[in-house]
A and B are shown apart, each in its own frame.
Chain A
Amino acid sequence: MKKKALILSVIIIALLLILFLVLFFKNKQNSSVPTNTIPTSDKILLPIGKDNVSVNNYYKEPSSVIIDEKDVVMEKNENYDILAYNYNNKRSFLISIKGGDSLEATRQLAESAFLQKLGITKEQACLLNVSMTLVIPGENFPAQDYGLSFCPNSKALPLLK
């Protein structure tokens, strides 16, 4: 009888332990990506599959203009904008090419600025959710994502004659 009680106790303790571990890891996972408040730490962890990519906290960048927690304009100039979004609890980035004598040259400049601001390598950048779009005055290219030039599946920008 004592043996059965012992087995039952072990099962109950094991279940409680599993419950505790599930709750613990769930909370830990949530806390690694603060999505509902503006992060104050120097780095932000962006989940990529089972791993994280650590990027500079772009909310603290001097050049950043924080519209709200969802929208951050990391850089804005005549030829390109770099933005960070947090919609539907998904952090993503947008590089918007607006002009320049050579669109490819503008692309290179924007990509360098993007890597430098986030403090990441090209390989890490390819893991993130980054879009690159064109909004050239007077041109009507159908909307598409050209991607980062050094990542797989990137597309060449159209030539302006």
Chain B
Amino acid sequence: MSTLKKVFIFSSLGLALLFIFIFPLLIVSAAPNLNYAPMETLPGFAKTADFATFISNLYKFGIWTVGICALVMIVIGGYMYAASGGNNASMEKAKGFITDAIVGLILALLAYLILYIINPELVKIKMGTTPTTVSTTPGTGIPGGTGGGTCAAPTSGPCSVENLKSTCLASKADGMAQICAQESGGNTSLESGTDLCMDNNSFSIGLFQVNMINSASSAGCNGSAIFSGVGSSSSSYDCFDHKTNSKGVSYCAHRNCKVIDTAKYNECKSKLMNGSANITAACSLSSSGGYGPWSTSAKICGVN
């Protein structure tokens, strides 16, 4: 192969790699809140919700591909070598196959290995916009807010930004993670201690404290069939009695409602205590009202 041809091939390859890896990174850097959802998953890798993980998986997939190709080439070269029957030209060709395969494999692995030996952090692709500001120190959890708010979004579990990015709340995962933390502290089984009926049954349940009376139809709950005295108006469950919190602020302790169908109430409550189902219900609420259904939490957290 002539030198010119080699230069052309390597230049083309380099440019292709530049476009494949660098160009998308520039796009993501320019558009920080770009949500990336690949249409197809890479073989052997789970579906990713962020671009950095996808690129990382793509690189690993490339290494595996190079390894498998090298193995195939070595086997072919070995077969050619064995079948050369002492023919010098065939033997040289076979040796060329094997040598090229081994050199290719070593080159592919060396790039990663050298960077990894220098500093393992070098092989981790990080986007400035992914929720890396939150602490990953075990046992200390969630020190700071993300997405512009002041509440702390959990680093793991159902309320985490990472999890919400894989749900229908992906487009506002940063804000909704804070809302989720403020509403329930990330507790999927939480029954509200303030949204209580006169019979002490809670009507706001789970991660996003979804209101069973008027906001849980997407979870298959019919509020008016479960609670008495509940109509379409919010006045139908006006405050029954008040209490005062530690700062002397009055709040409603019980609402003017009552459970009339315990079986349906428990069924609806169980549904909303499932993290995924609660998030789906929150999606439905959020799609029409943004952060509105959680206006108090949004205000406390400064999410807008």
Contact = CB atoms under 8 A, between A and B. Distances in A.
Interface of A: 4-5, 8, 11-12, 15-16, 19, 48, 65, 67-68, 70-71, 73, 76, 81, 83, 85, 87-88, 90, 92, 94, 96, 98-99, 125-140, 142-145, 147-148, 151-154, 159-161
B150 interface: yes
Interface residues of B, number: 57
Interface of B: 67, 70-71, 74, 78, 81, 95, 98, 102, 105, 137-143, 150-152, 154-158, 160, 162-163, 166, 178, 181-182, 184-190, 192-194, 243-247, 249, 251, 253, 273-276, 296, 300-301
A113 to B, nearest CB: 15
B174 to A, nearest CB: 13
B158 A87 contact: yes
Nearest to A127: B138
7 contacts: A4-B95, A88-B160, A98-B193, A143-B301, A145-B140, A147-B141, A148-B139
Between A16, A19, A67, A152, the greatest number of chain B beta carbons within 10 A of the residue's beta carbon is seen for: A67
B140 A135 contact: no
Contacts, number: 167
Contact of B140 (A11, A70, A83, A152): A152
A8 B182 contact: no
B151 A132 contact: no
Contacts of B190: 81, 96, 98, 135
A147 B141 CA distance: 6
B300 A142 contact: yes
B189 A147 contact: no
A133 B186 contact: yes
B137 A161 contact: no
B299 to A, nearest CB: 9
A127 B301 CA distance: 29
B188 A125 contact: no
A137 B156 contact: no
A85 B207 CA distance: 13
Nearest to B166: A88
Given A15-B74, A148-B139, A142 B182 contact: yes
Q: Which 7 residue pairs across A and B have the least CB separation, nearest first? A: A133-B185, A137-B193, A145-B141, A143-B181, A145-B142, A92-B156, A138-B245
A19 B67 contact: yes
Contact of B158 (A5, A71, A140): A71
A106 to B, nearest CB: 13
B189 A76 contact: yes
Contacts of A83: 187-189
Contacts of B273: 67, 71
Contact of A87 (B139, B143, B160): B160
A29 to B, nearest CB: 15
A87 B163 contact: yes
